[in-house]
């Protein structure tokens, strides 16, 4: 099974200004990435400027989140339809959004459904906390997140597996400098694929990225890790040289 290799930079609430976001987008245009699908996920306010900066390139633009409703009284939120013409896809289920906005599996499923209905690709994030890993609950947490999250996405909206990718992001590895090992990532990815298959999806066809303290120094470990198809990169995606090293590792 040949799945696409993908490296996507999640800029989170960075950089500080729109001007810097445009500079970063132009850097990405110049990042050699033959054989790797390259993406950026800027803050929503920067999406229009970044989309313009990347027009005519094959670098894909992603939103960092999307609302589950089509429209309405949801102050501060962005509906999937509003991303048309700006974004190729969206992240949903990032642990920072789950943490700060109270998203649970059902809500992440509803967000993914809304994104699919608007024709967007979806990067569905999941992963266990440190406490869950220490209690030996990693497999159970991942199984639950697939069952109650991905398994609950409206099947008509889900469409074909080509529009869905997963990002295994153990919460303890995000922004901590303490990445998982390649072996830990492979084990989690294998678990996710078997749960996807249990949900009636083709687990072998769905790309799964690793995210959590990926750097230029450790990217090759994940590029070599069985079943890992790419990286969702936070902090290092803001540094041109380091991000280019990460992309090179997956080529
Ligand atoms: P860091 O690469 O900064 O650890 O963030 C990972 C992440 O959360 C990507 O979505």
Residue 104 lies in a domain: yes
pLDDT at 230 over 70: yes
Residue 1 lies in a domain: no
Residue 63: the pLDDT is 98
CA-nearest of 202, 207, 225, 214 to 247 is: 214
Q: What is the CATH number of the domain that holds 143?
A: 3.20.20.70
Mean pLDDT (the chain, rounded): 96
Judge if pTM exceeds 0.85.
yes
Residue 187 is encoded by which pair of tokens? 């084990």
Local structure of 42: helix, strand or coil: coil
Q: Which ligand 1 atom lies nearest to the CA of residue 41?
A: 10
- For 121-175, write each residue's pLDDT tens digit: 999 999 999 999 999 999 999 999 999 999 999 888 887 656 999 999 999 999 9
Residue 215 is encoded by which pair of tokens? 């750097």
What is the domain range of residue 46?
Answer: 6-249
For tokens 């700060």, the residue is 100
Residue 88: the pLDDT is 97
* C-alpha torsion 246→21→62→98, nearest 10: 90
Q: Of 94, 96, 128, 221, which one is the catalytic site residue? A: 94
DSSP state, 123? E
Q: How far apart are CA 95 and CA 155, in angstroms?
A: 24
Asked whether the beta carbons of 59 and 28 are under 8 A apart, the reply is: yes
Residue 239: the pLDDT is 97
Q: How far apart are CA 137 and CA 139, in angstroms?
A: 6
Mean pLDDT of 21-49: 97
Residue 162: the pLDDT is 67
Residue 244 lies in a domain: yes
Non-local (6+) Cβ contacts of 154 within 8 A are 113, 116, 117
26 catalytic, yes or no?
no
Nearest CA to ligand 1 atom 1: 234
200-212 b/e (C-beta count within 10 Å ≥ 16 → b) = ebebebbbbbbbb
- For 66-124, write each residue's pLDDT tens digit: 999 999 999 999 999 999 999 999 999 999 999 999 999 999 999 999 999 999 999 99
- For 1-10, write each residue's pLDDT tens digit: 689 999 999 9
Residue 169 CA to ligand 1 center (angstroms) comes to: 8
Residue 158: the pLDDT is 84
* Confidence bin at 46 (pLDDT 50/70/90): very high
Asked whether the beta carbons of 92 and 112 are under 8 A apart, the reply is: yes
94 catalytic, yes or no?
yes
Residue 159: the pLDDT is 73
Structural domains counted in the chain? 1
């Amino acid at each position: 099974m040949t799945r696409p290799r993908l490296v996507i930079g999640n800029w989170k609430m960075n950089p500080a200004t729109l001007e810097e976001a445009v500079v970063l987008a132009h850097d990405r245009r110049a990042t050699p990435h033959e054989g790797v699908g390259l993406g950026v996920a800027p803050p929503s306010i920067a999406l229009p400027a970044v989309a313009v900066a990347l027009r005519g390139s094959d670098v894909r633009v992603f939103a960092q989140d999307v609302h589950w409703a089509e429209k309405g009284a949801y102050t501060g939120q962005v509906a999937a339809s509003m991303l048309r013409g700006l974004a190729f896809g969206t992240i949903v289920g990032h642990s920072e959004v789950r943490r700060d906005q109270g998203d649970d599996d059902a809500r992440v499923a509803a967000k993914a459904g809304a994104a699919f209905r608007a024709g967007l690709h979806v990067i569905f994030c999941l992963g266990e906390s440190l406490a869950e890993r220490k209690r030996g609950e990693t497999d159970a947490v991942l199984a639950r997140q697939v069952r109650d999250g991905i398994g609950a996405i409206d099947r008509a909206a889900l469409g074909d597996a080509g529009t869905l990718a997963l990002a295994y992001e153990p919460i303890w590895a995000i922004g901590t400098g303490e990445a998982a090992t390649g072996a830990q990532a492979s084990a989690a990815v294998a678990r996710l694929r078997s749960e996807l298959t249990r949900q009636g999806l083709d687990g072998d066809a769905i790309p799964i990225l690793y995210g959590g303290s990926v750097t230029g120094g450790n990217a090759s470990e994940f590029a070599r890790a069985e079943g890992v198809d790419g990286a969702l990169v936070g902090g290092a995606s803001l540094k041109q040289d380091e991000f280019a090293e990460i992309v090179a590792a997956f080529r």
